[in-house]
Chains A and B, each alone.
Chain A
Amino acid sequence: KAGVTQTPRYLIKTRGQQVTLSCSPISGHRSVSWYQQTPGQGLQFLFEYFSETQRNKGNFPGRFSGRQFSNSRSEMNVSTLELGDSALYLCASSLEAAGGAYEQYFGPGTRLTVT
């Protein structure tokens, strides 16, 4: 099976702009989680989507949002970009049958640089 894919891989934006990142999970996986990775804060959970519904949300401002489509592909959006949003954004997909925590497999990430 193909792994988790993310597009684009690299992105440079200016403060105040918005950005949309895309994630395609492993075929058959219905849960997609998003994480932000920075040298200072490490890996932090943003949100999780399952069956097109946001099921869990981390402690990030409302500028960070996401959605999931019927084919399980997910997008995350960051509006009014700030310099501190520069990070590697990772998505992870999980095969889930009956709730609980399952193995999460990460995509290669999107490296976002805000100038």
Chain B
Amino acid sequence: GENVEQHPSTLSVQEGDSAVIKCTYSDSASNYFPWYKQELGKRPQLIIDIRSNVGEKKDQRIAVTLNKTAKHFSLHITETQPEDSAVYFCAASGGANNLFFGTGTRLTVIP
């Protein structure tokens, strides 16, 4: 089955700096890659996703890039703010509603 690896496990940045989280996947058939943000005690919240026919997608301060050849995708957050502090999960799916998640990255934005 699919195996998703996520790095780093923890990330601290100064407010206003950029943060980058990287994930790799093993199954070349995977074609849908969402990112979720989970604040303490809350549900995972979909923040952005990308499909395999697209190389990059942006939504305001958040962007995701996908390299199908290398089987990796990344989340980029620019101009970080304290409210960006949370655990971020990447996931991959091969065309069905069964997501394989990475192990999460705890992002701390230092004011």
Residues of chain A at the chain B interface (Cβ within 8 Å):
31, 33, 35, 42-45, 48, 50, 55-56, 58-59, 90, 92, 94, 96, 99-109
Do residues A101 and B97 form an inter-chain contact, with CB atoms below 8 A? yes
Chain B residues numbered 48-70 whose CB sits less than 8 Å from any CB in chain A: 49
Do residues A101 and B46 form an inter-chain contact, with CB atoms below 8 A? no
Chain B contacts for A108, CB-based, 8 A:
42-43
Chain B residues numbered 87-111 whose CB sits less than 8 Å from any CB in chain A: 89, 91, 93-104
Known: A42-B103, A43-B101. A104 touches B96 (CB 8 A): no
Do residues B34 and A104 form an inter-chain contact, with CB atoms below 8 A? yes
Chain B residues numbered 17-55 whose CB sits less than 8 Å from any CB in chain A: 31-32, 34, 36, 42-46, 49
Question: For this complex, into which size category does the number of interface residues on chain B fall?
Answer: 20 to 34
Shortest C-beta distance, A31 to chain B (Å), equals 5
Q: Is the contact region of chain A dominated by helix, strand, or loop, or is it mixed?
A: strand
Residue of B32, B43, B89 contacting most chain A CB atoms (<10 Å): B43
Chain B contacts for A96, CB-based, 8 A:
97
Shortest C-beta distance, A114 to chain B (Å), equals 20
For residue B6, which residue of chain A has the nearest CB?
A42
Do residues A90 and B100 form an inter-chain contact, with CB atoms below 8 A? no
Chain A contacts for B101, CB-based, 8 A:
35, 42-44
Do residues A101 and B31 form an inter-chain contact, with CB atoms below 8 A? yes
Residues of chain B at the chain A interface (Cβ within 8 Å):
1, 31-32, 34, 36, 42-46, 49, 89, 91, 93-104
- Of B43, B96, B103, the residue contacting A56 (CB under 8 A) is B96
- Of B1, B32, B42, the residue contacting A100 (CB under 8 A) is B32
Chain B contacts for A45, CB-based, 8 A:
98-100
Known: A33-B98, A42-B103. A103 touches B46 (CB 8 A): yes
Q: Which 5 residue pairs are nearest across A and B when measured between Cβ atoms? A: A101-B32, A43-B101, A101-B93, A106-B43, A56-B98
